[in-house]
Amino acid sequence: MPRIRSHTICEVFRVKQNSKLLESTSRIARKHIFGVHRTTSSISLTEDTKNFQTESAPSTPLLKKNVLLREDNGKKVMLSKSRKSKHTDGGKVINGCKDSTLLDLSSMGLNSLSPEIGVLTNVTELYAYENKLTSLPPQIGNLKQLEKLWLQENWIAFLTPELSACNSLTHLDLRHNKLEGPLPQVVTELKGLKQLLLTYNKLTDISGVGNLKKLETLVVKSNNLQGPIPTELSNLIELRTLDLSKNRLTEIPSTISYCTKLGRLLVDYNQITEIPQSIEQLKHLQILGIK
């Protein structure tokens, strides 16, 4: 039986990052965290829709305290996340990972992110979920290569304007935070976003989201949205999944038919009493949740 060594996340990622190791790490260490919404009035899934959900679902690495990986030479390496528990802003971990393309600061009990985060100009994926973060440092704007940012299950109530400089960002997860009122303007400036997850906040308005014309997945479930669904959502011609369930919305605009690629439309547990006839024009629609 091969010997098992214990390493921190950064000790592994300080090793030369060849493509085979990264591919192995990504494949073994991740699992899907995006739950499929089901209602009694939903249309049943076809096989194509199931495949789409698997491809579009976000994944989060290293959810457990210890994850077993295998290096190219066959040796097994144990990643221990318990070693990270003494940090308050992740500064020590960040300083040890300056050449990494992936940084995992999840479940560390962080109260803030160190300004040192700005030196990680090679990072493409940043996992900082399940902490106690209330905001991000302005230096986050230095991460020009950042594509995926996972911030779910924090206490974030404010997003620094410098985040808009992360123009490579395609995936932003802000579920289970403390955002209130209108959708922060900085989010509407992230024109490259393909996936935006905002479940369990207290947003009252998502005006400006129509600027994000590359969006494929928009989830604003369990917020405080009221009134008609904004007509500007008709600008989102790449949209595949729209989940606005569990709000206080009153009307679906007829222009929803402009979202011609829409496969999942979930608006159940709102105050919607009518479905516009134009929905019949959505040829790819597989799931319509309304209750």
* Mean per-residue pLDDT, 231-237: 98
Least Cα distance to 157 among 129, 186, 176, 179 occurs for 179
Measured distance CA(38)–CA(1) in Å, rounded? 44
- 151 in a domain, yes or no? no
- DSSP secondary structure letters along 159-195: --GGGGG-TT--EEE--SS--EEEPPHHHHT-TT-SE
Which residues have CB under 8 Å from 256's CB, separation 6+? Answer: 229, 233, 234, 262, 265, 276, 278, 279, 282
Average pLDDT estimate for 210-218: 99
In the prediction, which pLDDT does 225 show?
Answer: 99
Range of the domain at 224: 179-291
Domain-located, residue 7: no
Question: Is 236 contained in some domain?
Answer: yes
On whether residue 203 sits in a domain, the answer given is yes
Instruction: Report helix, strand or coil for 290.
Output: coil
Q: Which range (23-32, 40-49, 145-154, 255-264) has the least confidence?
A: 40-49
Segments in 120-273 forming alpha helices (H): 185-188
Look at residue 86 in the predicted model and tell me its pLDDT.
58
pLDDT band at residue 5 under the 50/70/90 scheme: very low
| C-alpha span between 247 and 250 (Å, rounded) | 9
Which residues 6+ apart lie within 8 Å of 15 measured at CB? 21
Q: Which of 246, 252, 286 lies closest to 270, judged by CA?
A: 246
Global pTM value? 0.74
Number of domains composing the chain = 1
Confidence (pLDDT) at 65? 42
Amino acid 87: pLDDT: 62
- With beta carbons less than 8 A apart as the criterion, state whether 149 and 120 touch: no
pLDDT(15) > 50:
no
pLDDT higher than 80, residue 11? no
In a domain, 152, yes or no: no
pLDDT, tens only, 108-156: 999 999 999 999 999 999 999 999 999 999 999 999 999 999 999 999 9
- The answer to whether the beta carbons of residues 116 and 138 sit under 8 Å apart is no
Q: Is residue 266 part of a domain?
A: yes
- Is 17 a domain residue? no
Compute CA distances 281 → 266, 278, 291, whole Å: 17, 6, 21
- Would you say residue 265 has pLDDT above 90? yes
Residue 212 sits in a domain of what CATH number? 3.80.10.10
Look at residue 119 and give its three-state secondary structure: helix
> Is residue 13 in some structural domain?
no
- The string of pLDDT tens digits covering residues 34-91 is 333 333 333 333 333 333 333 333 444 444 443 333 334 443 333 344 444 456 888 8
